[in-house]
Chain A
Amino acid sequence: MRNAKNIPLKFLLLGFAFGMLFPLTGIVADCFIFNKLSFTWADISGQIANNPIHYIIFMAPLILGGTFYAIGWFAFNESRLNLKLTRTNTVMKETNELLDTFNYHVSHDLKTILNNQLALAKMSQKYLARKDTDKLEEIVEKMIGVGENGLATVAHFLVMSKEGYLSDSESAELQFREEIYRILIESGCEDRIKVSFGKTDFEKLTIQPKVFESIFVNLLTNTIKYNNNKPEVTFELIKVNGGKHIIYRDNGIGIDMDKYGDKVFEPFQRIQNEQNQEGTGVGLFIVRKLVQAYSGKISLESKLGEGVKFDIYFPDLY
């Protein structure tokens, strides 16, 4: 951030230095041409007094300095504007692709709920005619299950609208550690997972608070869900050239990378697991999209039974 703000100042110095060339060249030229190779101060000041154009030339460093400062300021703002635009563009393009896939899956999943409900209603009709109340009771039980599942499915899909957070909230400088503890408490997970910090080069991260929350709530709940031990996470916050590197390590069941690889970041991918955990398969997809919206990168290393390691990298943009 500090670096970028220096840009107009650098332009000012450059303009001033460039401007200095004019009076210096003028004086040297005076000495060579009008003063017949005399370099004494008396002769120089004589020439200056003789011709008032010197005063105008002496203004050059100030005028050019000012002009360059203005150019620098515009350039800086434009590049900042461009960055913002590029980011908005990327987000929009991805939102479009997302909507396409989203449409396919939402309509499918909603249809499944309604089809199941319809199937059970047809069965009830049949058993109602036979006055088989035992069977009817069983069917009604299932109908309730379908309804509840349906509501959960809709709730999961609403999570997808987290993408919308990108456009309507401002970035803030967050205290990483405090923020992690805060979201653990807010999501009621503080007793279900142990979080510790390893190497910590930086404490603050500039990001939209909702984005930060979405990313880490997703990762932390995955660690809790896919775990056979007492869930534990270690963060490492490492300052790297031009950015920040966050390492997230857990002690969960891990992922068979030969089998799934980067598929885990694709939408609607659900990995079969012994825990038989329910999910819509959009969590890591959202995480990656959010990281990418900050021109960041996320990658995963894992072995079955040995937990996961996420490397998240955010460049220092402004």
Chain B
Amino acid sequence: MNQKLDFFIVDDSDVNNYYTEDLLNEFDFTNSVTTFLKAKEGLNELIKRLNENARLPDVIFLDIRMPEMDGFEFIEELENELDDQDFGAKVFILTSSKHRRDVEAFEKQYIACEFLNKPLEREDLQRMITKHFN
């Protein structure tokens, strides 16, 4: 793989971010990792980049259950902002939930392309990078 990737992690659990960031940094395909403990801050950064036509991250790992704004609210706001244009970044749900409620909500939206469970496994990461970026 020749492409270098920029990652965003949106998750209020700093332990999980610590782990995921550490895992991503193991791989040569990782260019940068930016973490956001608050969904709103991650969203604002994306909206800012969209408005400025700046470079978007390649991959966003998004948690579901976070205070104030949860993962699906994040997606909804992003959908409103995009207004049917294509979103350049690949979004992956990264959650500890396997609950029907969350899986159904995932199936109803278009922004996120995969539903992954925590902790992110090395094999899962490699598989999905190969699938989406090769």
- Interfacial residues, chain A to chain B (CB-CB below 8 A): 104, 107-108, 111-112, 115-116, 118-120, 122-123, 142, 145-146, 270-272, 281
B30 proximal to A (CB < 8 A): no
Q: Counting CB contacts under 8 A, is B90 at the interface?
A: no
Flag if B119 contacts A115 (CB, 8 Å).
yes
Partner-binding segment picked from B11-19, B45-53, B78-86: B11-19
Q: Is the CB of B19 within 8 A of A120?
A: yes
Contact A119-B19, Cβ < 8 Å, known A270-B67, A272-B67 = yes
For the complex, is B126 an interface residue (Cβ under 8 Å from A)?
Answer: no
Could you tell me the distance between the alpha carbons of A98 and B18 in the complex, rounded to whole angstroms? 33
Q: Is B124 interfacial (CB-CB < 8 Å)? A: no
Question: Which interface residue of B13, B15, B19, B67 has the most chain A CB atoms within 10 A?
Answer: B15
What's the A-B contact tally at a CB cutoff of 8 Å? 48
Q: How far is A281 from B67 in the complex, measured between Cα atoms in Å?
A: 9
- The majority secondary structure among interface residues of chain A is helix
- Whether B97 and A108, one on each chain, are in contact in the complex, defined by CB atoms closer than 8 angstroms, is yes
Assuming the contacts A142-B18, A271-B68, A272-B38, asked whether A116 and B13 have C-beta atoms less than 8 A apart, the reply is yes
- Given A118-B119, A122-B119, A272-B38, are A112 and B96 also a contact pair (CB < 8 Å)? yes
Out of A116, A270, A272, A281, which one reaches B15, CB within 8 Å? A116
Shortest Cβ gap from B94 to chain A (Å): 10
What B residues does A272 contact at CB under 8 A? 38, 40, 67-68
Given known A108-B97, A115-B119, A270-B67, contact A123–B19 (CB-CB < 8 A) = yes
The answer to whether B119 touches A142, judged by C-beta atoms less than 8 angstroms apart, is: no
Q: Which residue of B lies closest to A135 (CB)?
A: B22
Contact of B119 among A107, A108, A119 (CB under 8 A): A119
Instruction: Return chain A residues, CB-CB under 8 Å to B67.
Output: 270-272, 281
- Residue of B with least CB distance to A268: B65
Q: Which residues of A contact B65 (CB under 8 A)?
A: 108
Query: In the complex where A108-B97, A271-B67, A271-B68 touch, is A146 in contact with B19 (Cβ < 8 A)?
Result: no
Which residues of A are found within 8 Å of B118, using beta-carbon distances? 112, 115, 119
| A269 to B: closest C-beta gap in Å | 8
Q: Contacting A146 at CB < 8 Å: which of B15, B20, B68, B119? A: B15
- List the A side residues contacting B119 at CB < 8 Å: 115-116, 118-119, 122
Asked if B99 is at the interface (CB within 8 A of a chain A CB), the reply is: yes
> Across the two chains, which residue of chain A brings its CB closest to B20?
A119
Report whether A142 and B99 are in contact in the complex, using a CB–CB cutoff of 8 Å: no
Q: Is B101 an interface residue (CB 8 A)?
A: yes
- Across-interface contacts of A271 in B (CB, < 8 A): 67-68
Looking at the complex, which one of A108, A146, A281 makes contact with B96 (CB distance below 8 Å)?
A108
Tell me the bound Cα distance from A116 to B99 in angstroms.
18
Residue contact A119 to B15, C-beta cutoff 8 Å: yes
The reply to whether A115 and B68 form a contact with Cβ atoms under 8 Å apart is no
Which residues of A are found within 8 Å of B68, using beta-carbon distances?
Answer: 270-272
Q: Which of the residues B13, B40, B99 comes within 8 Å of A112, measured between beta carbons?
A: B13
B50 to chain A, nearest CB (A): 23
How far is it, in angstroms, between the C-alpha of A34 and the C-alpha of B23 when the chains are bound? 113
Given known contacts A104-B99, A272-B38, A115 and B18 CB-to-CB distance under 8 angstroms:
no
What is the minimal beta-carbon distance from B113 to any residue of chain A, in angstroms? Answer: 22
Please determine whether A111 and B97 come into contact, CB atoms closer than 8 angstroms.
yes
- The list of the 10 closest CB pairs from A to B, nearest first, reads A119-B19, A119-B119, A270-B67, A272-B68, A111-B96, A116-B15, A115-B118, A115-B96, A112-B96, A115-B119
Chain B residues whose CB sits within 8 angstroms of the CB of A107 once the complex forms: 99
Contact with A along B56-67 (1 / 0, CB 8 A): 000000000101
Min CB gap B122→A, angstroms: 9
Q: Which residues on the B side are within 8 Å of A120 (C-beta)?
A: 15, 19
Q: Quick one: closest A residue to B19, CB to CB?
A: A119
Using CB atoms, name the residue of chain A closest to B120. A119
